[in-house]
Amino acid sequence: MLKMFWKSLLISPAVVGAALAVSSPAQAADATVKSEAVNAKTNSVELAQAAPQFSNTQKDNQLLNKLDEYSNEGQASTSVDQVTSVSELRDVQPTEWAYEALKSLVERYGCIVGYPDRTFRGNRALSRWEFAAGLNACMNVMERLIQENVAVLREDIDKLKRLMQEFEAELAALGARVDNLEARTSFLEDHQFSTTTKLTGEVVIAPTGIFGTKNTLNNQTNNNQVVMQDRVRLQFNTSFSGDDLLVTRLAANNVQAFKSFYPTNNVINPNINSGQQLGVMGDSYSTPAFTQSWQTGGGGPNNNVAVDWLAYYVPISLGDNMRLNTYIAGWGGQWADFVPTLNPYFDDFGGGKGAISAFSERNPIYQIGGGAGVGTSLELGFLNSILGPTSLSLGYLAGTGNNPSTGNQSTNPVTGLNYSFNDGGNGLFDGNYAALAQINANIADGISLAFTYVNAYHSPDSPIFGQGSKTGIGLVGTTASNLSRAELNNSLAAGSIGAPPTATNDYNSQSGPGGAADGTTGNFINPYDFGGKNTNSYGVQGTWRVADWLNFSGYGSYTNVHVIGAGNGDIWTYGGGFAFPDLGKEGSVLGIFAGVQPYLTGYNNAGNNLLIPRTNPVQVEMFYKYQVTDNLSITPGVIWISKPEQTTNAKDAFIGTVRGTFTF
């Protein structure tokens, strides 16, 4: 069957007709199509077998060479590449008897059905290869007619016999090429990586530096250095039915976060009734506001390989007007995996071809929650006539859904005692979780709008904008807005209290009933001892395609946070930007985005006496992604952030990055 299929593809009347309509030989066109199809299958084969077994090195090299030879054959082929002798280069002119003989057969028996009038379409010279293909088509038609007892003129049979003798070599070559193609196809089928899986990859390499964070304390200066960082992703896309998709992604990176040094805030001294303020200084914060979009995921910081995303998509039709796009995340799920974020050109969904910063990439509300769970996007076709294309997105993700253990007590490094609250539960329903609902509508041509609500719980050490992670610093916003107990306390434990500064551990261990330095009431300076956080977040985002060369998008969100054992607060963030697609070259983008990173305000922290300054961490970013080739883009970008931390000594910061992104 396979041989018959290729033979019909090569020499069927329809293909011959199409071939005669263009100037290039029919076989050259077919070889190009074949090579493209083979390339699609063998690219993943070569990648998957890039590390051969040393005991079979020669054998593996031969295998890879064959795959490369077969997959690349015909990509730059011409008629000269196709022929085997000088005689094949000679055209069959319209004045020759053979041309007229074949032309009469074609017009009488309809051998070439590619043309409406079944003619040669003009007296154009044919290569002997094209001529043989047309002759073969007429042979097949006349053979079929004879088998069906349809009358065929004797003189036409004689013409056909004479033509067959004249072009015997070319007709034999046609059959040989079909046999050869079948052998090559069988070889590729036997050695291809998978019949259901396609491998894609992305590599990001970027020199990046931050300026303005230099700080000095007690004659000791700390600063961030310019670094070269990378991230590598290999993604296996598997489909079993053609409509579903199983995604398995491996990732590695060597990213280490930029820091803010000696962050300082004030507390009300619990040991003095006058309300005296006391300075508390951390050693450093790994500032979430400095996070770049490509610096997330993977097994960093030493390029350790890890599975960072495992998910399954399957659509379910509910009739003509409704469709349910179902999403199941086994590991590393994010809202952006299935929920429209409405920030085109800036959001590359965690890839390396959008905005430089994580803040400009999408509304920070989508960073609240992540992990394992389920989601769906329901297409509401019955609302198309009212609101335009509309969908409802719903989802539930648990940050530590794979962990069956209960919460554990841990030691507060600031006091040396246990925290007042354990580190929170785990599992699908007893640890970090987030539940999302979003309505999306295209309200006009080129204008889309979405409203989002997220209810979430974050364990004490979990950052609010950390995609459900149990620990860490978060991906956007100030350290205060993320309210990670561990990040705040670890920094303070390595820092100091009071003026002149006294090391925190020394200060809290000095004489007094409770170890406080002033020896009055004996209360520890311990502003960050709190439990989990319950959040309710509300967001709006929209995009407007102003023209083919200009797009505007913007967002805003508000989060009400209740900190168990501490109090309540509000978190605000908003931003907007313009994108200029195809500027300078097709596929290139100039992006300008400005806004305010998430910050905490109105924090009523009864019992902890912490005073958090209300500062707006304003950010302005500009980048230009230049599409060098289909597989390579280079993106220089600059970011300015005013007061990236909510501290009394916050400084402006400048980030410069040149991001190179390779895709395959």
For 444-493, write each residue's pLDDT tens digit: 889 999 999 999 999 999 999 999 999 999 999 999 999 999 999 999 99
Q: How far apart are CA 320 and CA 74, in angstroms?
A: 44
Are 470 and 400 in contact by the 8 Å Cβ rule? The answer is yes
| pLDDT for res 178 | 63
Interacting residues of 500 by C-beta distance below 8 A, sequence separation 6+: none
Q: Please answer whether residues 393 and 338 qualify as being in contact, where contact means their C-beta atoms are separated by less than 8 angstroms.
A: yes
Q: Would you state the structure tokens that stand for residue 647, as one six-digit string?
A: 């501290």
- pLDDT mean over 403-428: 89
Higher per-residue confidence, 499 vs 358: 358
pTM confidence score: 0.74
Q: Determine how β-strand 227-238 pairs with β-strand 197-211.
A: antiparallel
DSSP element (H, E) containing 310: strand 306-317
The residue with tokens 């046999």 is: 179
* pLDDT tens digit sequence for 588-606: 999 999 999 999 998 877 6
Which pLDDT band, with edges at 50, 70 and 90, does 29 fall under?
A: very low
For the chain, the maximum distance between any two Cα atoms, rounded to a whole number of angstroms, is 123
Report the percentage of the chain scoring pLDDT > 70. 77
> What phi, psi does 266 have (nearest 5°)?
-120, 150
Q: How many CA atoms lie within 13 A of 33 on its CB side?
A: 11
* 617 has pLDDT over 50: yes
Angle between helix 168-191 and helix 26-48 axes, rounded to 10 deg: 20
Q: What is the pLDDT of residues 233-275, one digit of tens each?
A: 999 999 999 899 999 999 999 999 999 998 988 888 777 766 6
DSSP-derived letter for residue 3 is H
Contact between residue 619 and residue 596 where contact means Cβ atoms under 8 Å apart: yes
pLDDT-derived band at 188 (thresholds 50, 70, 90) equals low
**Would you give the DSSP letter of residue 460?**
T
Kind and range of the H or E element at 246?
strand 245-253
Task: Output the average pLDDT for the chain.
Answer: 80
Rounded to the nearest 5 percent, the helix, strand and coil shares of the chain are 25, 35, 40
Span 168-177, pLDDT tens digits: 877 777 776 6
- Let me know the angle formed at the C-alpha of 189 by 187 and 194, rounded to the nearest 5 degrees: 140
488 compared with 389, residue with greater pLDDT: 488
Please write the tens of the pLDDT for every residue from 41-51: 333 323 222 33
Q: Give 185's pLDDT tier (boundaries 50, 70, 90).
A: low
Number of residues in the chain = 664
**What pLDDT band is residue 356 in, cutting at 50, 70 and 90?**
very high
Q: What is the gyration radius of the CA atoms in the chain, in angstroms?
A: 34
Mean per-residue pLDDT, 402-413: 89
The Cα–Cα gap between 415 and 400 comes to 28
Instruction: Give Cβ neighbours of residue 638 (< 8 Å, ≥ 6 apart).
Output: 621, 622, 623, 654, 655, 656, 657
Q: Is the C-alpha dihedral spanning 352, 356, 362, 366 positive or negative?
A: positive
Helix or strand (DSSP H, E) at 447: strand 447-458
The answer to whether the CB of 200 falls within 8 A of the CB of 161 is no
Rounded to whole angstroms, the Cα distance separating 371 from 539 reads 21
